[in-house]
Amino acid sequence: MFGVDAYSPQEIAERVEDVGVTKARLPVLSTFTLAVLAGGFIGLGALYFTLVTSDATLGFALSRTLGGLCFSLGLILVVVAGAELFTGNNLLVMAWAAGRITGWELLRNWALVLLGNATGAVGLAVLVVLAGQASLNDGEVGRHAVRLAALKVTLPFWTAFFRGVLCNVLVCLAVWLAMAGRSVTDKLLAVLFPISAFVAAGFEHSVANLYLIPLGMLLDTREGGLPALGFTGLLRNLIPVTLGNIVGGAGMVALVYTLVYRRGAHRPLPGSSRPP
């Protein structure tokens, strides 16, 4: 019988674990296609964020808060429409810790999903440039996109890493809260506050950066461009941010909730000698 109450934390943990098994064993083409969609969805949220925060008439706090709420569009699309997002899939660690998927299945999913996310995010950046969206507000939208990208690629390694950690704690908590909901409205409300908080605070999301930095690279038309705004700069940002995202999502959310709610409830892989 359908109930109106949210799932309990124990039930959420069980659901996340079960979904992790399903995600890890999706066919390759399905996984990659859904990952491309997720990259595009997060890119749309970043596009919305860039548009709103390019308005210099807004105060700092208002600009960041509105931008964060707009960016939430990306994860709302992922959660409600259905897609495979690398940062959210850090929660697959719960299924791995339970012995229900192998380490190889976990890493294969992460690698394939991250590749698909990159394809979708960069593809959207190309479409946005071709559509001339950067010319809005007398070109300020495009100039703001370049500034955002330049700031990201010049972050020190450890600053980018810890911003990545904090980002994915909030992203995975948003996914966790969305799993508690029984309706689309529940899921929308669950996503809004954690996601808008990480964006407003200036934390770093690897998939969003796969849209924002390539967009800045494509729009930077000055002779010679910015020295740091190139492929090397992209990697300089993505490596620490991705590592930070994994620590925040897999370590500080998935493993913590495994310890709290699923300890002693593990179901090993068929044929495994690992005790339950």
User: Which pLDDT score, from 0 to 100, does residue 5 have?
Assistant: 80
Residue with tokens 């660690």: 93
Using 50, 70 and 90 to split pLDDT, how confident is the model at 229? confident
The whole-angstrom separation of Cα 79 and Cα 98 is 24
Give me the residue spans of the domains in the chain. Answer: 26-262
User: Which pLDDT score, from 0 to 100, does residue 32 have?
Assistant: 98
The whole-angstrom separation of Cα 99 and Cα 17 is 10
Using 50, 70 and 90 to split pLDDT, how confident is the model at 262? confident
The architecture of the domain spanning 26-262 is: Up-down Bundle (1.20)
Helices 231-246 + 206-219 axis angle, to 10: 170
pTM: 0.92
Long-range contacts of 262-265 (CB under 8 A, 24+ apart): 262/13, 262/14, 262/17, 262/94, 262/97, 262/98, 265/98
Span 83-103, mean pLDDT?
Answer: 97
Average pLDDT score, the chain: 92
The whole-angstrom separation of Cα 107 and Cα 197 is 29
Using 50, 70 and 90 to split pLDDT, how confident is the model at 265? low
Q: What is the pLDDT of residues 14-56, one digit of tens each?
A: 999 999 999 999 999 999 999 999 999 999 999 999 999 999 9
User: Which pLDDT score, from 0 to 100, does residue 220 have?
Assistant: 86
Using 50, 70 and 90 to split pLDDT, how confident is the model at 266? low
User: Which pLDDT score, from 0 to 100, does residue 23 have?
Assistant: 97
| Structure tokens given for 225 | 């461009």
Q: What is the pLDDT of residues 236-253, one digit of tens each?
A: 999 999 999 999 999 999
The helix/strand/coil state of 80 is helix
User: Which pLDDT score, from 0 to 100, does residue 166 have?
Assistant: 98
Is residue 275 pLDDT above 50, yes or no? no
Is residue 191 pLDDT above 90, yes or no? yes
Using 50, 70 and 90 to split pLDDT, how confident is the model at 273? very low
The whole-angstrom separation of Cα 153 and Cα 77 is 27
Is residue 217 pLDDT above 70, yes or no? yes
User: Which pLDDT score, from 0 to 100, does residue 106 have?
Assistant: 98
Residue closest to 149 by CA, chosen among 204, 206, 215, 203: 215
The whole-angstrom separation of Cα 174 and Cα 166 is 13
Percent of the residues in the chain that have a pLDDT greater than 70, as a whole number? 91
The whole-angstrom separation of Cα 215 and Cα 247 is 27
